Structure formats: structure tokens, C-alpha cells
Amino acid sequence: MTDRESVYDGLLGEDTSQWAFGTSFEDPLAGVDTTLPDGVDAAVLAAYCLMLGDDALIYSHRLGQWASNAPDLEDDIALSNIALDLLGQARLLLGRAAAADAGCVPVLPEGSPVPAEDALAFFRDEGAFRNVRLVEPDDVGGAGGDFAVTIARLLLFSCYRLALMERLRSSRDPVLAAVAVKAVKELTYHRDYAGRWFLTLARGTEESRRRLLAGLALVWPLHDELFGTHPVETLVAEQGVGVDPSTLAAEVDVVLEQVFSVSSIDRPAVAQVGPVAGGMGREGRHCEQMGRLLAQMQSVARAHPLGLW
């Protein structure tokens, strides 16, 4: 029993503390020193943060699509939590990009209450996103709609991103270093979850192994793009704030080979997907499914740019 005449009375008050989403959101970097380290170019740092933030944002959206679609409740919750971890990383990284260089934030209608990190997520067009293409395909409703595909892709992505964040803990930018410290703990779980499921599917039934092999062959062509070095990544590595991804390849390969070995699976021998119109994801060249993803993800925000949530 409550002290209200109706259970709905609580919906009408001014106190919104009981809700997961209120009407005011704090700056994700509030209280954090966002002063640029000496010798660091603001535009370059912002561009780098967009790359890492977009990777997390787009993959978070894809993993979130497994909510209510996973094989069982435990994995439904696990994949949703992984998606939320990545969404949190995305918010911090996009917020850092905006703090470093306000010029990267889309111009919104006068009076819009949308914070900078949301503006970057919901009001950029496809060509302005800088994520790798590995995170874009739809594993739930698309042609590759299969849990085994998601496990194979999550293994590749989490091994790469964990190695990256482990290096970023020593970044000269205190914001990136702080984000990385937290992210390493999250990504360790992501990698272990994917690794356990990879082994389970590989050594389970003939059908589970067949699906895993098919899933790995489907995502592997986008593997090498993770380790291609964009000029921005070269600059941030030279400035001591970022990581050249090509230096991660050998380390990640050791981990993947260990997983493949215990799973009795050979490294895929499939061709890599090349550039599109002279560029890859870091240059804003994306898979066909990216446009549909953004149309879904951005539709409400774009329809109500002055809305309060």
C-alpha cells in the first residue's frame, strides 16, 4: 500500500528522482580537467576521440538490438550490459571531442537543449562518422542474423579495443587516460564473454560449430581495418595521447590464435574488404547498412531537435 489514492499519482509530481531518465543531464566530463596537454593539437585530438567514440556508439547500437532477441535471458542481459558499457565509453569520448574542439559539433536550431555529445551522435550525417566498418553490419535482423556471428565479431572487436585501451591508460591526455582505465575493466569482461561463447559454440554440436565458422568467415574480411593507421592516429601517437593501431596487431593476434587453438579452428583464409571510393570507415566510407542504422538511431532526435527528454 502507498499513501497515495492512486498508484499513478506519483507520475504527476515534480520529483523525477525515481526515473532512470530525468529532464536534465550533467556534462559527462563535469569536474574533469579538460585542458589540452602541451603540444597537443585540439582538432587532431577531437578527430581521434570521434573515431574511438563512434566505434563504441555504433557497436553499442548493434549489440542493443539483441535485447529480447538473445538465445536466453542471461545472454539477453549480458549483451545489453556490454552495449551499455560501450555507450558509456562513447558518451565520454564524444564529450571529450566536443570539449577539445567545439567546431566538430553540428550546429543545431537556436534554443536546442541537446548536449554536445548527443549532437555528435544524432545530428551528424553518415559521411561524418569515423568508426571502423566492423561494427556496422546487422547481426540480428540482417542476412547474417545469427548469435554466432555476434560472438565472432565481439571477439575480434573486444580483443582489439582492450589492447588499445590498455595502451591509452598512459595517454598524456588525462581524460583519455581516465576513460581507458575504466574501459579496460569493462572490455576484459567483453573479451572473456566472447571467448567463452566462441569455445562453447566451436566444441558444441555440429550445428553450433557450423554456424560459428560461417560467422567468423562473415566478419573476418573487416578484421584488418582495425589495424590500419589513419593520419590522425599517426599524429596522436606522435603527440603521446593516442595509439597507432598497427602496433597492436601482433599482440591481438596472439590472443586470437590462443582462442582459435583451443577451439580447434583455423585462422580464416578469406579476402579482406578493401576501400570504398578510396577510403574506409575512418574516412567516412561505410557499409550499406550504416545508413539504415543511423536512420533508426537518429530519427526521434532529428524529428524533435528542441525536445526535452
Q: What residues of the chain score a pLDDT lower than 70?
A: 1-29, 140-145, 309
Q: How many domains does the chain have?
A: 1
Residue 119 within a domain = yes
Q: What is the pLDDT of residue 15?
A: 53
Residue 18 within a domain = no
C-alpha cell at 5: 489514492
Q: What is the pLDDT of residue 86?
A: 97
Residue 296 within a domain = yes
DSSP β-bridge partners for residue 279: 276
Residue 222 within a domain = yes
Q: Grid cell 573479451 — which residue?
A: 191
**pLDDT (tens digit per residue) in 67-102:** 888 888 899 899 999 999 999 999 999 999 999 999
Q: What is the CATH number of the domain that holds 148?
A: 1.20.1260.10
Q: What is the pLDDT of residue 308?
A: 73
Q: What is the pLDDT of residue 28?
A: 64
Residue 7 within a domain = no
C-alpha cell at 187: 572490455
Closest CA to 58 of 138, 116, 117: 138
Backbone angle region of 179, left / alpha / beta, with phi > 0 → left and psi within -120 to 50 → alpha: alpha
d(CA 90, CA 287): 20
Residue 23 within a domain = no
Q: What is the pLDDT of residue 103?
A: 95
Q: Report phi then psi at 277, rounded to 5.
A: 50, 40
Residue 203 within a domain = yes
Q: What is the pTM of this model?
A: 0.88
Range of the domain at 142: 39-302
Residue 27 within a domain = no
Q: What is the pLDDT of residue 18?
A: 42
Cβ 150 vs Cβ 221: under 8 Å: no
